[in-house]
Amino acid sequence: MHTQRISEMIEQKRDLFISVSDNIWSFAETRFEEYQSAELLAQTLESEGFQVERGVGGIKTAFIGSFGSGGPIVAILGEFDALSGMSQKKGQAVQEPEVPGGNGHGCGHNLLGTASLAAAVAVKQYMEENNLKGTVRYYGCPGEEGGSGKAFMARAGLFDDVDFALCWHPMGYNSIMAIESLANYQVYFKFRGKSSHAAASPHLGRSALDAVELMNVGVNYLREHIIPEARVHYAVTNTGGLSPNVVQAYAEALYLVRAPKVDQVQEIYERVCKIAQGAALMTETEVEIVFDKACSNVVQNKVMEQVMYRNFQELGVPVHDEEELKLAKEVRATLTEQELNTSEKEFPDGPDVDMVTWLNPYNGETSPLNGSTDVGDVSWIAPTAQCTTACFVNGSTLHSWQWVSLGGTSLGHKGMLHAGKVLASTAVDMLNNPELIEQAKAELQQRLGGKPYKCPIPEGVQPSVKK
């Protein structure tokens, strides 16, 4: 079977892929500033015989590595951005930053991007060995964390000729990601008032901070009157300074509005904007609304998920040695009872293990994902499937120091390499069976109901490096 050959290919280059992953883990670069990470991946692709185009879509850290010609065209999506403030020493069961206040890969994107790299390299090699026609592309997708890099790339038309797409995410379990994620908008509300002495002449001032606070109160009341699946969160990104004896002339909040469909996000966003305008009226300030980014909901594709599941079954799941399981036990001991209870709910039939040792059954049912991913925008354009592999301890959560710690160890490496094998095997299966591609495309069109993709990011909005 092709799965065995794909597995051999990736194992033969495991040291290369582990080195790439560990270097990206060390770089820990945040959204749209992943210069070292992107260049390392691009150079590795070139050394493996890919043609690489850098700076695609007008984004400096976005790139596409291509091999082959003509169709079918498979897109393998890679991410490599880190999170700010999440620095953590690797391989430890104690929270301790490597660089105080530094960045860290709390979502495992050093593993994500590298597994996709391994998959692309293996597909290329398989195509050469078997004279398999088509094109394999590695999409270097920056800024997934709060940046929606893929949505900007989709707006630029970079996925328009793709026949099918594959992605994955490191997690604490092995599964097919049969999900529907939340679409979202991320928007700045910047208030401008008038400064004055807060004791001697407060009546002359107009507080931008008061406006931010009133806006937040208004949105809190709004939450009762939106659909229960929606989420609205915010951060006060500028409080106007550190002097309480000054009426704050400038203040801003960054809002993230989520809902199952883009149209629902738009409706809630418009109501949030009215609240912001009301807060400005109440405080006699001015508000500037600055759209930062957005992404669409994921469109599930069962045809491709079934292909991926069959290949995952043939490959099995990652197997860990005693030393790895010892580290896993130590790290899992740092989880709270609530986190452990969450893991039991996810795996009601499984034992209380430190590392998951099974593949979750796939039945085609859709699970809601209360988070968001810019993979959604790709899934509107081309049929898309995703999986997860166990890279982290059972019950651990995304954006945690435990994930940063394990993302640079052999626990993460094994899950990463395994994901590369699943992605590559699925790609080869699809390329060998064009009828599956047509079935996947037909399913996508049926799910969309003829509605064309429209990027939720307005024209003129450009990627921002703001955290």
Instruction: Give the domain CATH number at 291.
Output: 3.30.70.360
Q: Give CA separation, 104 vs 289, 295, 406, in Å.
A: 30, 23, 11
164 and 29, same structural domain? yes
Plot region of 436 (φ>0 → left; ψ -120 to 50 → alpha; else → beta) = alpha
According to the model, what pLDDT value does residue 120 have?
98
CB 465 within 8 A of CB 31: yes
207 and 308, same structural domain? no
48 and 149, same structural domain? yes
CB 234 within 8 A of CB 255: yes
CB 99 within 8 A of CB 87: yes
Question: Which segments of the chain have a pLDDT < 50?
Answer: 344-345, 348-349, 467
DSSP 8-class letter at 33: -
The answer as to whether 142 is a domain residue is yes
334 and 286, same structural domain? no
- Say how many residues make up the chain: 467
373 and 236, same structural domain? no
Distance (Å, rounded) from C-alpha 52 to C-alpha 335?
A: 42
Distance (Å, rounded) from C-alpha 422 to C-alpha 413?
A: 14
The answer as to whether 454 is a domain residue is no
Number of domains, the chain: 2
Distance (Å, rounded) from C-alpha 416 to C-alpha 113?
A: 9
Task: Show which of 263, 295, 327 is a domain's final residue.
Answer: 295
Task: Show which of 276, 295, 314 is a domain's final residue.
Answer: 295
Q: 235-264 pLDDT, tens per residue?
A: 999 999 999 999 999 999 999 999 999 999
According to the model, what pLDDT value does residue 351 have?
57
Distance (Å, rounded) from C-alpha 331 to C-alpha 348?
A: 22
Residue with token string 């006060």: 236
Q: Which two tokens stand for residue 196?
A: 């004055």
User: What is the side-by-side strand order in the sheet with 134-140?
Assistant: 51-54, 63-69, 134-140, 73-78, 164-171, 384-390, 175-176
The radius of gyration of the chain's CA atoms, rounded to the nearest angstrom, is 23
126 and 223, same structural domain? no
According to the model, what pLDDT value does residue 70 have?
95
Task: Show which of 250, 277, 295 is a domain's final residue.
Answer: 295
**How many other C-beta atoms are found inside a 10 Å radius of the C-beta of residue 122?**
30
The vertex-196 CA angle with 191 and 198, nearest 5°, equals 105
> What's the longest Cα–Cα distance across the chain?
82
According to the model, what pLDDT value does residue 364 have?
83
DSSP 8-class letter at 83: B
Q: What element of type H or E holds 52?
A: strand 51-54
According to the model, what pLDDT value does residue 326 have?
96
The answer as to whether 241 is a domain residue is yes
83 and 224, same structural domain? no
The answer as to whether 398 is a domain residue is yes
Instruction: Give the domain CATH number at 380.
Output: 3.40.630.10
Distance (Å, rounded) from C-alpha 105 to C-alpha 80?
A: 9
Interior/surface letters 54-89, b for 16+ CB within 10 angstroms, e for the rest: eebbebbbbbbbbbbeeebbbbbbbbbbbbbebbbb
The answer as to whether 415 is a domain residue is yes
According to the model, what pLDDT value does residue 115 have?
98
Residue (of 141, 165, 172, 16) closest to 79 by Cα position? 141
Contacts of 387 (CB under 8 A, 6+ apart): 168, 174, 175, 176, 177, 308, 312, 419, 422, 423
Q: 66-114 pLDDT, tens per residue?
A: 999 999 999 999 999 999 999 999 999 999 999 999 999 999 999 999 9
Range of the domain at 214: 183-295
Name the pairing type of β-strands 250-259 and 179-180.
unpaired
373 and 231, same structural domain? no
The answer as to whether 463 is a domain residue is no
94 and 107, same structural domain? yes
The answer as to whether 456 is a domain residue is no
Q: Give CA separation, 205 vs 201, 247, 381, 416, in Å.
A: 7, 6, 51, 56
197 and 171, same structural domain? no
Can you say whether the dihedral through the CA atoms of 169, 76, 296, 40 is positive or negative?
Answer: positive
The answer as to whether 465 is a domain residue is no
Q: What element of type H or E holds 297?
A: none
50 and 166, same structural domain? yes
Determine the number of helices (DSSP H) and then strands (DSSP E) in the chain. 15, 13
Helix pair angle (302-315, 2-12), 10° resolution: 70
252 and 146, same structural domain? no
- Residue 11, classified by CB atoms within 10 Å of its CB into exposed (0-12), middle (13-18) or buried (19+), is middle
